Structure 1
Amino acid sequence: MSARVFSSEAGLAGFFRRRARHERAGFQLYTAAVTAARDPYLYVTLGVPDTLDGRFDSVALHAYLVIRRLNMAPPPGAELAQAVFDAMFSDMDVNLREMGVSDMSVGKRNRAMWEAFHGRSVAYAAAWADGEQLAEAIARNVWRGQEAPAGSPDALVRLVRAQAECLAEQPLEALLRGEITFIPAEEAAR
């Protein structure tokens, strides 16, 4: 009786084909989330800190909304959600390098941001059903222990919920093409 040798190459090739199939759409969806996260209303009116950390938290919040929407969709929603996540951390890697972070430190910093994003995602998901808890989670992450401007956490909860409703109405077929629409922040925060 001869031993049968199994190659993981076929499985690995299938994995990379599935990832590549959604890579462009994932990048486009992530880019739209970044654009929404850069809306000046968030920084000027709601007082989101216009710092590296504040911008990271705004991007993380908007990327969370896209990933949440995709993970609630039927297949291949989860694969596309992974592509958005991959695009986010590929972009973070590039940004760190452009800021002059040494090659030796990029991996460690990118991992720290991944862990921060994961922690925020877990906190937002756990608090989703309760507006007060969601406002506390957002304030804790966005203002990082600093006093949030009066009413801003509640306005961000309204914004997050409005964006989530807007994303839920968008068909998966459009999202698979990388097409997504966010409501302007001022309108969403009302």
Structure 2
Amino acid sequence: MPLASLFRRRPFEAEAFRLYGAAVAAARDPAWYARLGVPDTLDGRFDMISVFVFLLIDRARTDPDPRGSDLAQALFDAMFADMDQNLRELGVGDLSVGKKVKTMWEAFNGRARAYAAAIESPDRGALAEALARNVWRTEAVPEAAHRLAKAVRREAEHLGRQDFKALAAGRVSFLGAERALGQE
């Protein structure tokens, strides 16, 4: 029954869209833009969404629960289904959408690898450097990148304390910019 498989729900599809929605809401917090000077542009918003989706994917894929990789994949799929839809709503032509989504996927993949390596690095400045390159598009590391790096680490720790069962059910909480930055 190959046709039936087209209509079957993939594992964690609905839950991943809820988690993705929470990541987008966290990324849109005005304090990131007002307090840190994150560029309030399409690129700046994509970069902040990428940070929060990365945090969720990293949390899911590193969980000892064997379903973690399925949840991580579903989050990735939800993000790029939304990016595809947003490009179409912005009026990007059908023939260009696939190329643009591929470019966005490559950008996200590069960021995710850089953030994962930076978080694992013993160099405490590595995450700020990666954020400076991606969020502010600069090799110089502004003070705001150090502040964002601390906030990202706090968000990662906060996610690490959340039960995988809640994440698998599509429930997550983020500290939010004011709390994550306010702990400075």
On whether the aligned pair clears a TM of 0.5, the verdict is yes
Map of 1:79-98 to 2, 5 A cutoff?
79-98=70-89
Measured in 2, the distance between the counterparts of 1:53 and 1:177 equals: 30
Indicate the residue corresponding to 2:33 in structure 1: 43
Maintained 8 Å contact 2:32/2:177: yes
Alignment TM-score, normalising by the size of structure 1 = 0.88
Name the Cα RMSD after superposition: 2.1
Unpaired runs of 5+ residues, structure 1, are: 1-6
Which secondary structure state, in structure 1, belongs to the residue aligned with residue 130 of structure 2?
A: helix
Measured in 2, the distance between the counterparts of 1:172 and 1:84 equals: 14
Alignment TM-score, normalising by the size of structure 2 = 0.91
Which of the numbers 129, 152, 158 marks the counterpart of 1:160? 152
Indicate the residue corresponding to 1:185 in structure 2: 177
Unpaired runs of 5+ residues, structure 2, are: none
Indicate the residue corresponding to 1:3 in structure 2: none
Indicate the residue corresponding to 1:100 in structure 2: 91
Aligned residues: 179
Measured in 2, the distance between the counterparts of 1:122 and 1:82 equals: 15
Which of the numbers 160, 176, 184 marks the counterpart of 2:168? 176
4+ residue stretches of structure 1 with deviation over 6 A? none
Residues 72-107 of structure 1 show CA distances to partners (whole Å, capped at 9, x for unaligned) of 112101101111100000000000001110000000
Which secondary structure state, in structure 1, belongs to the residue aligned with residue 91 of structure 2?
A: coil
Measured in 1, the distance between the counterparts of 2:99 and 2:7 equals: 24
Which of the numbers 92, 99, 109 marks the counterpart of 2:100? 109
Deviates more, 1:139-148 or 1:26-35: 139-148
Maintained 8 Å contact 1:131/1:157: no
* Larger Cα-atom Rg: 1
Maintained 8 Å contact 2:11/2:74: no
Percent sequence identity is 52
In the alignment, structure 1 residue 22 sits paired with structure 2 residue 12: yes
Measured in 2, the distance between the counterparts of 1:16 and 1:170 equals: 32
Q: How far is the alpha carbon of 1:52 from its aligned partner? A: 0.5
